[in-house]
Chain A
Amino acid sequence: MKKMLTAMALSAMIATPALQAAEEVNIYSFRQAFLIKPLLDAFTEETGIKANVVFSKKGLLERIEHEGRNSPADILLTSDIGPLFDATEKGLLQPIKSELLEKNIPAKYRDQQGNWYGLTSRSRIIYASKDRVDASEIKSYEDLADPKWKGRICTRSGKHTYNLSLIGSMVAEHGEAETQQWLNSLKDNLARRPQGNDRAQVKAVKEGVCDLALGNSYYFGKMITNEKKPEQIEWAQSVNLIFPNQDDRGAHMNISGAAVTKYAPHKDAAVKLIEFLSSDKAQQLYAEVNFEFPVRNGTQRSELITKYMGEFKEDGVSLQKIAELRSTAAKMVDKVGFDN
């Protein structure tokens, strides 16, 4: 027993590698390690550069900030525009000039100064019950405020970053006062107190708790292909996907992205990794692991996405603006008492 414990303790200490080996790149990631592992493996195979990861959904920006010029982090990998914007504001990033990146990634999905680059995009869409909602009944986010949906809508917490960015896009379009009215009416239409994740909302539609649900587009892919939990395939089959506002500004979009830190010790490797992630092959792979849309011009969308989602019009509002409005949106959620 004692020997085994010593062995375990030893292995624990060895598992902390000295970070000085030849070519490496250090990633602080807001995305789970298992989601990005296939890509990083492909990167290492192609370039010989080893990728090290720390994953956490909070606290990483503070870590970079206080570690200062000695921070080992080269790259910040996020699942949302929020942290990219915050890191830029705090001066934690360095602008990257790369012709390749500028060619691969459309201007609306990267920072004009080159502080951050979007890698995949997703839309916040409306999932509507096939049985109880005619697809022509709901066309826009604004329609969600219509009293005819009273007690028929489900969503996760208004404070979740996905909803905050949607609310931000409404503020950008309509201003604060009008958006607050909209949010108030939306709250009145809720079937239940906001709870669970996006997937749970679609499930609630299937179960008859509500008829409409707000959710990110990739959840559909995750559910419809879920062989391990076949009940999720049924949830996905019970809904129509509605990309809102196709007649005006387009559906609300958000991105996952990457940025190089200000004091990156392996800056070249970091740029190489982002460039790799913007390549055609990686874009397909990165988009496909999570059923998102590749941001790269001309990269083929996956079969599944082409089949179920087709082409749609994207809201062109700047992501910068959306990120700036997050705090306004969060306060609005409190004012309306959206989650109570």
Chain B
Amino acid sequence: MNARLNAEINTSISNPAGLWRWFGSTWLVALLVALPVLSVFYLALFPKENIWAHLADTVLPVYIITTLELMIGVGVLAVGMGVISAWLVTMCRFPGKKYFEWALMLPFAVPAYVIAYVYTDLLEYAGPVQSALREIFGWQTARDYWFPEIRSLGGAILMLAFVLYPYVYLLVRASFLEQSNSLRDASRLLGCSPLQSFFRISLPIARPAIAVGLALVSMETINDFGTVDFFAVKSMSAGIYDTWLNMGNLGGSAQIASLMMFFVVTLILLERLARARQKQFNSSDRFKALDTYKLSGWKAVLAWSICALPILLGFLIPVLILGSYAIQHLDQLDQENFLTFAGNSFFLSATAALITIAIALLLAYSKRLYHYKSLTAAANFASLGYAMPGAVLAIGVIIPLATFDNSVDGFMREHFGISTGLLLSGTTFAIIFAYSVRFLAVSTGAVESSLSKITPTMDMASRSLGLSPMQTLLKVHLPLIKGGIFSAGLVVFVDCMKELPATLILRPFNYDTLATFVYQYASDEMLEECSLAALLIVAVGVIPVILLTRTITSTRAES
């Protein structure tokens, strides 16, 4: 009803020219952002040879099963850790809760490849843990005892889950904070225990948030190459790189990447379909403090431990180990251009965050203005880049940029006799473009959901007072959703700080970011030489992460 009314008002008020302006710019931007993904599809049309017969005969089942195991493992752990910790810090009171609220986000600042390197150093045979065990028990060689192998599927699942669960935590916590007391009170009055009420009320209401978080986690997992490569886990992304680099068949690997993407997209659509008939209306009592359970005794200890564990394993231990290495390499601060690298990382990430937010606003707002299916399609289409491995996406970025550069150059040569060379390829623009394509999905999701919380009556009021859609966006909506926009920007910023493969391939000459600097040593298992830079990535990421949790907490009145 609401939607139809809204649509009618919009179409009757706005002139057709305005419609086309929004419609046109939305599709134009969506197409630009989708260019790299389209380029990969294009590559997939021209494989050097058909790889599928060979794959199906040999390793395809292994790739598929391993990828599924990886996704399910990481998904279950990330949702488990994210949801339980979010519920505890939102709905319960126990010692330390205030700190956990933001500390639970800290692992988000740690890149997956860094945590994988650190834990390998710690848990491998020559590492301190096994050495100590051998010392204590007098074992001589690896044949004398059993110790879990960190370089395994299980190890990869743990590493990824520890740094990815914050996606779920962040979104689910925001959802819990918005939930009204009355539903829960009703369930308790009807005889539910707190636990039953959690399963019957809080969890179902948070389902959209969990689904979005899980989708982000799954896409990050399926895209990961650093960790699975280091741990020799044979997932689909191993197949992509093998087909590309060892068999010289980029087209074939583009096919695998595209197929993987459709797989993820199908999953997301299925979830949306399952949710389509569900409608949620929250009585908005967010200005009333949440009623929380006060925990004491063993319950408080348990809650404290559950919250402390992911922080300890996902953040404290890696940071302490990196720190202990870094202290021995403090002299690098003078020798290496760390500040330049940090400056580069910061500049790229901040610019990309601003751009993705602007694009996300455009996509989400024109979708709100005109309820056309095609606008929703444009927004979804533009978000596809997130489901593609970074290095493959980088090739997808190279193609349109180089084509553009060479066309301009050809035109200028022909008509003016001057060569403009490469204008965009091999510049920081290429990297920022890649980041925006890759992480747009993160910001569109967040901006859309903030925007959807503003009741359409606001638009109607503002428009009937004579404001244009643009003025309404700037004067009414932006102030209302600035918290949501800010969080989305921060998440994109931290993601960009950690991004590696696209940065590596697209960067200009003599240009390093913190991540590329870390990689050139870490890839040669020289973690200590780059520990300081790795620590800096984490440190720069921690600040936005703390800001992020503050913004979310402040959406609800304090108890």
Chain A contacts to B: CB under 8 angstroms: 5, 7-9, 11-13, 15-17, 19, 26, 32-34, 52-60, 62-63, 66-72, 82, 86, 89, 157, 159, 161, 164, 193-197, 199-200, 203-204, 207-209, 228-229, 231, 326-327, 330-331, 334-335, 337, 339-340
Contacts and interface: CB of A to CB of B under 8 A. Distances in A.
B245 A8 contact: no
A176 to B, nearest CB: 14
Given A9-B343, A34-B521, A52 B510 contact: yes
Interface string B402-430: 11011001000000000101100111100
Given A71-B422, A195-B151, A15 B344 contact: yes
Given A58-B391, A208-B143, A330-B246, A63 B151 contact: no
B278 interface: no
A151 to B, nearest CB: 10
Chain A to chain B: the 9 pairs with minimum beta-carbon distance, closest first: A208-B141, A12-B347, A59-B505, A52-B509, A8-B343, A334-B58, A195-B232, A66-B402, A330-B246
Nearest to B144: A208
B231 A331 contact: no
Given A55-B520, A68-B406, 19 more contacts: A7-B343, A8-B347, A15-B344, A32-B521, A58-B244, A59-B394, A59-B395, A59-B398, A59-B505, A66-B403, A70-B421, A161-B246, A207-B142, A231-B126, A326-B247, A327-B248, A334-B59, A337-B58, A340-B59
Contacts of A11: 339-340, 343
Contacts of A12: 340, 343-344, 346-348, 428
A240 B405 CA distance: 55
Given A52-B509, A59-B391, A67 B425 contact: yes
A67 B512 CA distance: 21
Interface string B363-397: 00000000000000000000000000001001100
A200 to B, nearest CB: 8
B525 A197 contact: yes
Nearest to B337: A15
Contacts of B55: 334
A55 to B, nearest CB: 6
A174 B452 CA distance: 67
A327 B247 contact: yes
A194 B232 CA distance: 7
B350 interface: yes
Most buried by A among B248, B403, B509: B509
Nearest to B510: A52
A90 to B, nearest CB: 9
Nearest to B49: A327
Contacts of B508: 16, 54
A15 B151 contact: no
Nearest to B525: A197
A334 B505 contact: no
Contact of A157 (B232, B245, B342, B426): B232
28 contacts: A5-B346, A5-B350, A9-B343, A12-B340, A15-B340, A15-B343, A16-B508, A32-B520, A33-B520, A54-B511, A56-B504, A62-B398, A67-B398, A67-B425, A68-B402, A70-B425, A71-B422, A159-B246, A164-B246, A196-B151, A208-B141, A229-B528, A327-B249, A330-B242, A330-B246, A331-B58, A334-B54, A335-B57
Contacts of B504: 55-57, 59
Contact of A66 (B234, B344, B398, B509): B398
A15 B59 CA distance: 45
Contacts of B394: 59
A52 B523 CA distance: 22
A200 B419 CA distance: 50
B524 A32 contact: yes
B241 interface: yes
Contacts, number: 177
Interface residues on B, range: 35 or more
Contact of B248 (A86, A203, A208): A86
- Determine which residue in A53, A58, A203 has the highest number of CB atoms from chain B within 10 A of its CB, and name it: A58
B15 interface: no
Nearest to A68: B406
Nearest to B427: A16
B201 interface: no
B480 to A, nearest CB: 26
A326 to B, nearest CB: 6
B160 interface: no
Interface string B524-544: 110010000000000000000
B140 interface: yes
Contact of A54 (B247, B249, B509): B509
Given A13-B347, A70-B405, A208-B141, A58 B58 contact: no
Nearest to A20: B421
A196 B339 contact: no
Nearest to A332: B58
Contacts of B512: 33
A12 B348 CA distance: 9
A32 B517 CA distance: 10
Given A12-B347, A86-B248, A193-B232, A331 B54 contact: yes
Nearest to B243: A330
Contacts of A331: 54, 58, 247
Interface in B410-465: 419, 421-422, 425-428
Given A68-B406, A340-B62, A8 B342 contact: yes
A162 B241 CA distance: 16
B509 A19 contact: yes
B105 interface: no
A195 B426 contact: no
B428 to A, nearest CB: 6
A322 B425 CA distance: 33
Contacts of A58: 241, 244-245, 391, 505
B211 interface: no
Contacts of B244: 58
Contacts of B342: 8
B117 to A, nearest CB: 12
A33 B523 CA distance: 13
Contacts of A67: 398, 402, 405-406, 422, 425-426
B333 to A, nearest CB: 15
A70 B339 contact: no
Given A70-B405, A330-B242, A339 B232 contact: yes
A112 to B, nearest CB: 21
Nearest to B242: A159
B539 to A, nearest CB: 14
Contacts of B247: 326-327, 330-331
Contacts of B524: 32, 197
A16 B511 contact: yes
Contact of B246 (A63, A69, A195, A327): A327
B125 interface: yes
A221 to B, nearest CB: 14
B322 to A, nearest CB: 16
A55 B402 CA distance: 19
A53 B508 CA distance: 8
B556 interface: no
B216 interface: no
Contacts of A82: 245
Contacts of A69: 406
Among A8, A82, A197, A228, chain B packs the most CB atoms within 10 A around the CB of: A8
B142 A209 contact: yes
B509 A53 contact: yes
A133 to B, nearest CB: 15
